[in-house]
Homo-oligomer: A and B are copies of this chain.
Amino acid sequence: MPYSLREIAKVINTELRGDPNCNIVGVATIKNARSGDLTFLSNRRYFSQLRTTEASAVIVSCTDITMCPVNILVADDPYLAYVKAAIYINPEKTFDFGIHKTASLGENVTVSQKSYIGQNVIIGNNSIISDDVYIGAACVVGASVVIGVGTKLFSNVTLCDDVHIGKHTRIHPGVVIGADGFGIANDQGRWLKIPQLGSVRIGNDVEIGANTTIDRGAIEDTVIEDGVQIDNQVQIGHNVRVGAHTAIAGCTAVAGSVNIGKRCMIGGLSALAGHIEITDDVIVNGMSGVTNSIKQAGHYASAMTVMEVKLWRKNNVRFKRLDEFARRLIKLESKIT
């Protein structure tokens, strides 16, 4: 279904320079756009492509308005304006309500008539599925699980017993929520498994990427607050709390009982050691090792970045003596001054 440029400009609150009746059918990159496409310029690197783009309209900032052969939407932040336009043009797919005949429901399960339960879905006893919930193929939902209005489980998602999921939350394939935390205690050389008696509570408007795992709490619950964005293959240990609107990039490992503040951004492949506290508004680069609490909002990093392997070998060896070199430097200084 086409949208008029007038309508889009209004929805995303931008100034329109050009034909308000121009029809937009999709979005595209500035390079590969065709007639009917809306595109955007947010990186000056692609500035020269403005003149040759075949897009029907381009979102640009007021400083980038130039001789452009197509219609223009002027935005303070062209990328954010693009995102809003893309959301408007590509509303989420609707789905039919109903329970597929291959689904297995336990006893005393409450399923809203306004929800979809897909092929081979399994739901345990006493669980509650709210309105507008979508549970895709082959999901396994345990007993006493609660899933809030408008939430989507794509496919192959596993929710263990007692997990609570809020509203309008999206959970991608392969995710496991509520498996036992890694709680072990050493008893004379053997590991005792500590019963994992808590559960997991996920808030509203949360996104959880493919194959991410979020463990149930040991005594109390693991908690993911509203608006949290979690990428793929992230591991969240037991009794972690992730504050509202925090984003965690792929493959990051959050050990048990970590308390992450609100609006943080944690880069991919980072490790947060157990029992630490990260205050609000902390940014951590990818591959960072966080072993102590961070009490000041700010931007942190620790990872070494690549060099040629010959050089790396030497530096890696020297690093093992860094403390010694520092002492020798200090000693030398004391001799000179």
Contact = CB atoms under 8 A, between A and B. Distances in A.
**Copies per complex of this chain:** 3
Interface string A285-305: 111111110100011111111
A304 B322 CA distance: 12
Given A84-B192, A156-B156, A307-B301, A122 B104 contact: no
A166 to B, nearest CB: 15
B187 A80 contact: yes
A219 interface: yes
Interface string A306-337: 11111111111111111101101100110110
Contact of A191 (B247, B268, B316): B247
A97 interface: no
Contact of A304 (B155, B245, B299, B304): B304
Contacts of A320: 307, 311, 315
A251 B220 CA distance: 23
A302 B291 contact: no
Nearest to A206: B191
A150 to B, nearest CB: 13
A185 interface: yes
A100 B233 CA distance: 32
A18 to B, nearest CB: 22
Given A154-B179, A155-B140, A182-B250, A285 B268 contact: no
Interface size class, chain A: 35 or more
Contacts of A289: 286-287, 303-306
23 contacts: A27-B219, A28-B219, A32-B220, A84-B187, A90-B195, A100-B104, A119-B122, A122-B137, A140-B173, A182-B231, A189-B245, A250-B255, A251-B271, A268-B271, A271-B287, A273-B286, A288-B306, A289-B303, A289-B305, A300-B306, A315-B322, A318-B322, A318-B323
